[in-house]
Amino acid sequence: MKRWLIALFVIPVAVFAFQAVEAKIHFEEIGAKAGVNAHHHSRQFNGDTGDVLHMFTSGGSSAAVGDFDGDGFDDIFVTDSDNGKPNHLFHNNGNMTFTDVAVKAGVVKGNEPKTIVADALWFDYDNDGREDLLVARFGTPILYHNEGNGKFKDVSATSGLNKFGNTIAVIAFDYDNDGLLDLMFGNYFKPVNLLDLKDPHVLPNDLDNAVNGGGVTLWRNTGNGHFVETTEKAGFGKHTGWTLDIGHGDLNNDGFQDIYLACDYGTDRIFFNNGDGTFTEKTETATGFDTKKGMNVDIADYDNDGWLDIYVTNIYDEYMKECNMLWHNNHDGTFTDVSAETNTCIAGWGWAAKFGDFDNDGWQDLFVVNGLRSAGKDNYIPVLVNLITQPGVDFSDVRLWPKIGDMTWSGYQKKKFFRNIGGQTFKEMSAQAGVDNDKDGRGIGLGDFDNDGRLDFYQVNADQEALLYRNNTEGAGNWVQFKLTGTKSNRDAIGARITLTAGGLKQIQEINGGNGYAGQSTKRAHFGVGKALKVDAVEIHWPSGLVQKVDGVSVNKLNKITEGKGLDR
């Protein structure tokens, strides 16, 4: 009740702020022109169960945005998944064209006969100022050290990251605030090799409450290029769900990074950081248990109330009407799903969703990709329901699932672009924005690839070409970007929180290490400030605990700030 009373007073101000910058949001798809329309290939499996396993592993198409060569332009690493298929490293030429330098850089590999590439992440694990690369797999991960000469060195063997997992998501964050980036892997299937299947009972044991998935693993960075597993010690050992995505952020404003796990076939999980290297699961009290098909988690303060909120995609189609969830932070460790009230509920068979202020009005908009499998005219659902309604059927047995062949399953879905209307509601406008493609979307990587102050995005798709959307919004507001460099904190400044006041709005953003399914976005913080021509205040809460006020921040510029030193001049 209290929140809505506050909202009554906030709405007029918010609407005024929005109307002051009524931009015409529009994007142009330039993937082919830019040279980044990589075609993804999901893994083909052999044998009688190959068709079903192929269907169940239709992820693996992912993108990681990061400036690997430090030239001031964000580059894109793009994964492929079929046996022998190369990954891509698209170097940004600075003119909205890209060159694939993966071979030269030595990062093409990963798809081997018994391993499948599924996700990727840029992070500076050794704080040397260069973005290193982690390639997550159904298998063991590959860790590449950035050698600084456009080349990478495979340091997996000495990294300690030697545990097999069917990893579909990975994030880097500093969970113990020791200045070193740690890793969390989200694992979909339990740790058995699907490419060398011994036991056919590998699929979910329950389609709404499955507990036989891969859970997560947590790896602490010990500072010498080595990681040690701390999953059990940190309190994640009991989670055995089908993790599809991981989001991190300081959800209770205590200075420590908390975790939200989006899980397929059953309840999502929320873990609060105790500040001592351990976490406590608070799902029951924070959000309640759900039975939905969690696909993605992104975290942002959509209503500018100073607390991070959470957006989760689920599945909504004719035959399965699960709303997405927009968890509004109630400031007391609990969250309320406001997706229906904010018009962000319906987005098809959801995959990645990313917040971003695409019109620079000071409010975080939301882009959602969707669509499972666009194929022939026959629909797989009536076939599948025959299995589902069999009394006592063992869903985990891959041999029992009907083959999908050329059938379509929740395919040809139009993407959703939700424009944030003053933090109170959203308006779906994908067609007007020019982003209503019907590909089988998977991941999203945001970045200002042409450094023009408008957020662009890259969309990867399963078994289809990727798309690059250049933001051509007319009348976009002014903006402020930050590139933070940690000194005592991790150098990437992941977990640092920026509070910016401008144009009558106070906004917060945290630098994150890979939030969003199958995608990592730029580590720059991008704020829209509407008509404001100056910034009133900037405060940074570093993971080290340092609270730094920064003067002299410029509008319509990338501001580089080093921990404890202020603006780089």
Partner 1 sequence: MSYRTLSILAALFVSSAFIPTMLAGPADDAFDQGQQALAAKDYTTAIAKLQQAVQLDPDSLRNSSQLRQAVLRQTIAAHPKEGSTADFDAEIAFFQKAAADHPMSSNILLNYGFAYVDKIPAAGSITQVILANTALTQFGKSIELKPTWIALYTRGNSYLYWPRVFARASLGVADLEKAYAMQKSEPKKSYHVRVYISLGDGYWKTDNIEKARSMWQEGLQAFPDSQPLKDRLSKQGDDLKTYIDNVLDPNKRVDTDLKELWMQS
Query: Both tokens of residue 139?
Result: 């298998």
Binding range to partner 1, per CB under 8 A, among 29-37, 312-320, 357-365, 440-448? 312-320
Binding range to partner 1, per CB under 8 A, among 63-71, 201-209, 398-406, 468-476? 201-209
Dump strand ranges (E) for 422-545.
425-428, 441-447, 456-461, 467-471, 478-485, 497-502, 505-510, 519-520, 525-530, 537-541
Q: Among 185, 142, 144, which Cα is nearest to 167's?
A: 185
Residue 381 interacting with partner 1 (CB under 8 A): yes
Query: Shortest approach of partner 1 to residue 398 CB, angstroms?
Result: 17
Query: Shortest approach of partner 1 to residue 391 CB, angstroms?
Result: 8
Per-position DSSP letters for 272-341, written without gaps between them: EE-SSS-EEE-HHHHT----S---EEEEE-TT-SSS-EEEEE-BEETTEEPPPEEEEE-SSS-EEE-HHH
Residues 212 to 271: which contact partner 1 by CB under 8 A?
A: 266
Single out the residue of 83, 291, 501, 556 in contact with partner 1 (rule: CB under 8 A).
Answer: 291
Binding range to partner 1, per CB under 8 A, among 24-32, 152-160, 219-227, 383-391? 383-391
Residue 340 interacting with partner 1 (CB under 8 A): no
Single out the residue of 153, 321, 399, 565 in contact with partner 1 (rule: CB under 8 A).
Answer: 321
Single out the residue of 376, 382, 405, 545 in contact with partner 1 (rule: CB under 8 A).
Answer: 382
| CB 145, CB 155: distance < 8 Å | yes
Residue 320 interacting with partner 1 (CB under 8 A): yes
Residue 95 interacting with partner 1 (CB under 8 A): no
Q: Among 343, 209, 356, which Cα is nearest to 289's?
A: 209
Residue 394 interacting with partner 1 (CB under 8 A): no
Residues 466 to 525: which contact partner 1 by CB under 8 A?
A: none
Query: Both tokens of residue 419?
Result: 């424009």
How many of the chain's residues bind partner 1 (CB under 8 A)? Answer: 20
Query: Shortest approach of partner 1 to residue 383 CB, angstroms?
Result: 11
Residues 52 to 81: which contact partner 1 by CB under 8 A?
A: none
Single out the residue of 156, 379, 432, 472 in contact with partner 1 (rule: CB under 8 A).
Answer: 379
Nearest CB to partner 1, comparing residues 130 and 292? 292
For 415, the enclosing helix (H) or strand (E) is: none
Rounded to 10 degrees, the C-alpha dihedral 105/162/215/206 comes to: 100
Single out the residue of 132, 301, 322, 510 in contact with partner 1 (rule: CB under 8 A).
Answer: 322
Binding range to partner 1, per CB under 8 A, among 317-325, 427-435, 507-515, 554-562? 317-325
Rg (CA), the chain: 22
Query: Shortest approach of partner 1 to residue 1 CB, angstroms?
Result: 16
Nearest CB to partner 1, comparing residues 388 and 431? 388
Single out the residue of 196, 276, 318, 551 in contact with partner 1 (rule: CB under 8 A).
Answer: 318
Single out the residue of 377, 391, 474, 551 in contact with partner 1 (rule: CB under 8 A).
Answer: 391
Identity of the amino acid at 131: E
Query: Shortest approach of partner 1 to residue 284 CB, angstroms?
Result: 12
**Strand 456-461 with 519-520, pairing:** unpaired
Query: Shortest approach of partner 1 to residue 51 CB, angstroms?
Result: 21
Nearest CB to partner 1, comparing residues 295 and 498? 295
Tokens 């399963």 belong to residue: 462
For 246, the enclosing helix (H) or strand (E) is: strand 242-249
Nearest CB to partner 1, comparing residues 45 and 349? 349
Query: Shortest approach of partner 1 to residue 382 CB, angstroms?
Result: 6
Query: Shortest approach of partner 1 to residue 92 CB, angstroms?
Result: 42
Nearest CB to partner 1, comparing residues 267 and 420? 267
Tokens 């590959």 belong to residue: 142
How big, in percent rounded to 5, are the helix, strand and coil portions of the chain? Answer: 10, 35, 50
Single out the residue of 94, 158, 306, 319 in contact with partner 1 (rule: CB under 8 A).
Answer: 319
Give every strand in the sheet of 269-273, ordered side by side.
Answer: 242-249, 258-264, 269-273, 279-281
Nearest CB to partner 1, comparing residues 140 and 330? 330
Tokens 């995505």 belong to residue: 245
Query: Shortest approach of partner 1 to residue 222 CB, angstroms?
Result: 41
Q: Among 106, 107, 89, which Cα is nearest to 98's?
A: 89
95 burial level (CB within 10 Å; 0-12, 13-18, 19+): exposed
Binding range to partner 1, per CB under 8 A, among 101-109, 144-152, 285-293, 343-351? 285-293
**Rounded-to-integer distance, Cα 98 and Cα 92, Å:** 5
| CB 184, CB 514: distance < 8 Å | no
Single out the residue of 48, 71, 208, 254 in contact with partner 1 (rule: CB under 8 A).
Answer: 208
Binding range to partner 1, per CB under 8 A, among 13-21, 127-135, 346-354, 385-393? 385-393
Query: Shortest approach of partner 1 to residue 319 CB, angstroms?
Result: 5
**Rounded-to-integer distance, Cα 303 and Cα 298, Å:** 14
**Rounded-to-integer distance, Cα 161 and Cα 156, Å:** 7
Residues 260 to 279: which contact partner 1 by CB under 8 A?
A: 266
For 566, the enclosing helix (H) or strand (E) is: strand 566-567
Nearest CB to partner 1, comparing residues 119 and 322? 322
Question: What would the 3-class secondary structure string for 115-130 be?
Answer: CEEEEEEEECCCCCCC
Residues that bind partner 1 (CB under 8 A): 207-209, 266, 291-293, 315, 318-322, 379, 381-382, 385, 388-389, 391
